[in-house]
Amino acid sequence: MSQYSAITGWGMYVPEKVMTNADMERIVETSDEWITSRTGIKQRHVAAPNETASTLSIAAARQALERAGIEGKDLGLIIVATVSADYPFPSTANLVQHALGAQCGAFDMQAACSGFLYSLSIAHQFIANGSVKHALVIGVEVLSRVVDYTDRATCVLFGDGAGAVVLSASDQPGGLLGFTIGSDGARPDLLWIPTGGSAEPATEQTIRDRRNFVQMQGSEVFKFATRVMGTAMEEALANAGMTADDMDLFIPHQANLRIIEAASKRLNLPSEKVFVNIQDYGNTSAAAIPIALCEAIDQGRVYPGAHLGMVAFGAGLTWAAAVVQWTAPIATQENSYKAAKAGVKTGTHAEQEKVQV
Ligand code: UT7
């Protein structure tokens, strides 16, 4: 029985349409200056009418499968983390399973922005106990469908996208080394969609009151996030027998640049060890970390042996963190992708040398 679970494939997809801060200025009373200084966001991607959580997921998943060198039929498990599924039921994972030609169990996981790391920790259990060889873990959101474009306090923050990884059984030490998941449901109203569930079914009145859209008490969530990001990351590191100093790259949830900076400061991390791409995507909730991971790989910041720390927080409230020691040979796996995206540098010379060690 293999006890290690390694990321062997990765992929991302974001819709083509971009909404800049200037576009937001035309919709609500806001400014590029406010959005940039309070959040770090410059633009976000928005799904086309024919795009859904499952179509975004499938695009990201196909890339991840290709990089892992496997097909849908090789998968033993599919988990889709999302709060913006195609339907209340069936799950988006069911749709993804069918499209990929997989013949395995598939389910959606709901822990809001923490959903991808929750899902990674679940997939890890299936692999560590020997029941699954390859698991597909997807984080996806089409938040543009559930965001209230008359509420400037929320609509400027969120974006659409998907990221996916293949987690595979391995005898080689590394992969997911430690994690933590947490929940505090005392204040569901801090970040929620109040209507549409069994507590408050949709009526003409609730829809008129726009209660079928995201509502958030931003500053309360902000305070929680700055508290929990550092402690959750430290807990996952401790579970892996490590400290923040051992991290080569910190890939935090991309919700607010100020929150990322506060967490990095608490963990005493220099900026070169912190990955940030919130400026390009806004907050894509469950998709944020796998998208950031893909871009970090693309930028040559991930290499075999590197210790990656990932941490997220979100509605619930929830939080989760994971430590992964990278094992996939990026230098070779990236070649086909590099060819497709000519000119993109995927690894510095020093990192390539580190691969040889
Ligand atoms: O993944 C988890 C999801 N959520 C989050 O991570 C959100 C966490 N919270 C945050 O990131 C921040 O709280 C926000 C970016 C949402 C807000 O920043 P803030 O510094 O906490 O601002 P605030 O909510 O205290 O609002 C300050 C002011 C208010 O005006 P007054 O009452 O001081 O006159 C707001 O009405 O900014 C105003 N405001 C805006 N002004 C221009 C709120 N949204 C906007 C806007 N443009 N888009």
Whether the predicted pLDDT of 335 surpasses 70: no
What pLDDT, on a 0 to 100 scale, did the predictor assign at position 11? 97
Q: Is 108 in the same domain as 203?
A: no
C-alpha 105 – ligand 1 centre gap (Å): 40
Summary mean pLDDT of the chain: 92
Residue 158 DSSP class: B
Domain carrying residue 40: 4-174
Residue nearest to ligand 1 atom 12, measured at CA: 218
pLDDT of residue 331: 59
For position 330, what pLDDT does the model report? 76
Catalytic residue among 253, 256, 294, 307: 253
Q: What is the residue with the minimal CA distance to atom 22 of ligand 1?
A: 219
Query: How many of the other CB atoms lie within 10 Å of CB of 304?
Result: 18
pLDDT digits 0-9 by tens, 72-131: 999 999 999 999 999 999 999 999 999 999 999 999 999 999 999 999 999 999 999 999
Residue 284 has a pLDDT of: 98
In the chain, the amino acid numbered 225 is A
Q: With contact defined as beta carbons under 8 Å apart, do 307 and 246 qualify? A: yes
- 251-304 tens-digit pLDDT: 999 999 999 999 999 999 999 999 999 999 999 999 999 999 999 999 999 999
The label of the residue with tokens 């590191």 reads 237
In degrees, rounded to 5, the angle at the alpha carbon of residue 26 between the alpha carbons of residues 23 and 27 is 95
Beta bridge partners of 274: 250
Q: CA–CA separation, 293 vs 80, rounded Å?
A: 17
How far are the Cα atoms of 7, 131, 168, 187, 235 from residue 1, in angstroms, in the given order?
Answer: 18, 9, 13, 42, 27
Please check whether residue 155 is in contact with residue 28, taking contact to mean a CB–CB distance below 8 angstroms. Answer: yes
Percent of the chain clearing pLDDT 90 (strictly above): 91
Number of independent structural domains in the chain: 2
Q: Are residues 239 and 153 in the same domain?
A: no
pLDDT band at 353 (very low <50, low <70, confident <90, very high): very low
Question: Nearest-CA neighbor of 55 among 16, 103, 105?
Answer: 16
| Per-residue tokens: 214 | 């995201």
Which two three-digit tokens encode residue 133?
């060889």
Residues 138 and 230 in one domain: no
Q: Are residues 119 and 204 in the same domain?
A: no
| 206 three-class SS | helix
Which of residues 174, 197, 228 is at a domain's end? 174
**Could you tell me the pTM of the whole model?**
0.92
For residues 67 and 84, give the distance between their C-alpha atoms in angstroms, rounded to a whole number. 26
Ligand 1 centroid vs 210 CA: distance in angstroms? 19
- 190-214 pLDDT, tens digit per residue, is 999 999 999 999 999 999 999 999 9
Is 27 in the same domain as 38?
yes
Two structure tokens written together for 268: 């005493």
Are residues 79 and 150 part of one domain? Answer: yes
Q: Does 342 reside within a domain?
A: no
Measured at the alpha carbon of residue 68, what is the angle toward residues 63 and 73, in degrees to the nearest 5? Answer: 85
Strand extents, DSSP E, the chain? 4-13, 18-20, 43-45, 77-81, 105-109, 134-142, 160-170, 175-183, 191-192, 215-216, 249-252, 307-314, 318-325
Considering only CA atoms, which of 107, 104, 119 is closest in space to residue 70? 104
Residue 117 contacts residue 321 (beta carbons within 8 Å) = yes
Residue 283, ligand 1, Cβ within 6 A: yes
Domain boundary among 139, 174, 209: 174
- 161 plus 192 within the same structural domain: no
CA-to-CA dists, residue 336 to 20, 69, 285, 330, 353, angstroms:
31, 12, 29, 11, 20
Are 225 and 148 part of one and the same domain?
no
183 and 150 both lie in a single domain: no
What integer pLDDT is reported at residue 13 of this predicted model?
A: 98
Tokens 């690894």 sit at which residue? 347
Tokens of 319: 């939080």
Q: Residue 105 domain-assigned? A: yes
312 C-alpha to ligand 1 centroid (Å)? 19
Picking from 174, 198, 222, the residue at the C-terminal end of a domain is 174
Is 240 part of a structural domain of the chain?
Answer: yes
pLDDT at 357: 28
For residue 3, name the pLDDT band (cuts at 50, 70, 90). Answer: confident
* Percentage of residues of the chain with pLDDT beyond 70: 92
pLDDT at 338 over 60: no
**What CATH number is attached to the domain comprising 96?**
3.40.47.10
Q: Confidence class of residue 329 from pLDDT cuts 50, 70 and 90?
A: confident
Q: Which of 256, 283, 294, 307 is catalytic?
A: 283
